[in-house]
Structure 1
């Protein structure tokens, strides 16, 4: 079972990362899906997406949850039955979840140079022009994107703009955390964001800050 990493963020919050190496058939073994989710996975054209979908269910099982415990609201945000919160992410051959007593968000992205071309759409790129080289800039922008994606998932309000409404405090590449603020209409929320890099991927996860 390729559980890649487990991170205990605090006594009530855990991150689980899966490296997808098995076949869809192997990942399906022992996993019971709802009728809706079974239809969803059967209609997926990408085998990697299907395998990612099933690996998420294996990660949920580590905390005692099944597909029957998972549902989505009208905005597409995943929820668990009971009082736990969940966020889900999948990128190429990695998948991850974060489960907590509080609202959370998580994102994984492959580090790719194309982010240099789209950076102006999600962050004030001039803030990062002092980076030593394009590789360092690409890594930093990927962290910013992952942070903003995780914040967007946690905040969960339609209409939130990555560029206009989500601010990530600057950080160094050798850091492992930063802070962020989401401001939208009359609501403002502060977050703590942790991040890590592995095998040319980046993962970030956001938790609501106790200091508002």
Structure 2
């Protein structure tokens, strides 16, 4: 399938989302991988993960980059050789890439009821405004997870805790935006977050 969605949050930032309908072989034939990236994808046991990895490289090509333009630092954060900021996510049959002049983070997650089981591991303050009895409880938990994951990718420092150091202020599902904080060691900063839902998935991205 062609590109699923393109968003321009501002003049320096672009989000692209791909719906992965192609087979592993189709994706592999369309991308040019560095030797270490090819070794990595061939070593993956799950075809779902292989297709996610390859679809991200396809998205890079949509931006005008190749796998050779991408590298990772010692914390696992992706970077582009030209100095642009990049963040990457994939979940099941969707992948997303955001590229910006600003520091950014993005996350895509499938909405699943089992997130309620692990909510205590990443939610603290947010329980004050969440209501387990509402129809949108799972959706809100998924937004909170995506927001905190995007902040984690943006900040990318060892020891940052979703539960203890990331805070999402109250929001409504139809707001499509919220604010969140990182409060960790020397860092105390507020971020504007945008989020949206599509085909049973949630996406959120943070821009510094």
Aligned counterparts of 1:126 and 1:87: Cα–Cα separation in 2: 28
Matches within 5 A, 1:1-212: 1-124=1-124, 126-130=127-131, 132-133=133-134, 135-208=135-208
Task: Confirm or deny: 8 A CA contact 1:192 1:207 kept in the other structure.
Answer: yes
Query: What is the CA distance between 1:28 and its match in structure 2?
Result: 1.6
Aligned counterparts of 1:104 and 1:5: Cα–Cα separation in 2: 18
Task: Confirm or deny: 8 A CA contact 1:160 1:184 kept in the other structure.
Answer: yes
Query: What is the CA distance between 1:189 and its match in structure 2?
Result: 2.3
Aligned counterparts of 1:110 and 1:129: Cα–Cα separation in 2: 19
Query: Helix, strand or coil: the match of 2:38?
Result: helix
Query: Helix, strand or coil: the match of 1:195?
Result: strand
Aligned counterparts of 2:63 and 2:15: Cα–Cα separation in 1: 11
Greater shift after overlay, 139-148 or 187-196?
A: 187-196
Aligned counterparts of 1:37 and 1:80: Cα–Cα separation in 2: 15
Q: CA RMSD in A?
A: 1.2
Q: Could you list the runs of 5+ residues in structure 1 that have no partner in the other structure?
A: none
Tell me the TM-score normalised to structure 1 length: 0.94
Q: Could you list the runs of 5+ residues in structure 2 that have no partner in the other structure?
A: none
Task: Confirm or deny: 8 A CA contact 2:104 2:154 kept in the other structure.
Answer: yes
Task: Confirm or deny: 8 A CA contact 2:30 2:58 kept in the other structure.
Answer: no
Matched positions, count: 207
Task: Confirm or deny: 8 A CA contact 1:2 1:21 kept in the other structure.
Answer: no
Task: Confirm or deny: 8 A CA contact 2:193 2:205 kept in the other structure.
Answer: yes
Greater shift after overlay, 14-23 or 186-195?
A: 186-195
Aligned counterparts of 2:200 and 2:90: Cα–Cα separation in 1: 14
Aligned counterparts of 1:127 and 1:186: Cα–Cα separation in 2: 26
Query: What is the CA distance between 1:121 and its match in structure 2?
Result: 1.1
Tell me the TM-score normalised to structure 2 length: 0.96
Aligned counterparts of 1:22 and 1:129: Cα–Cα separation in 2: 38
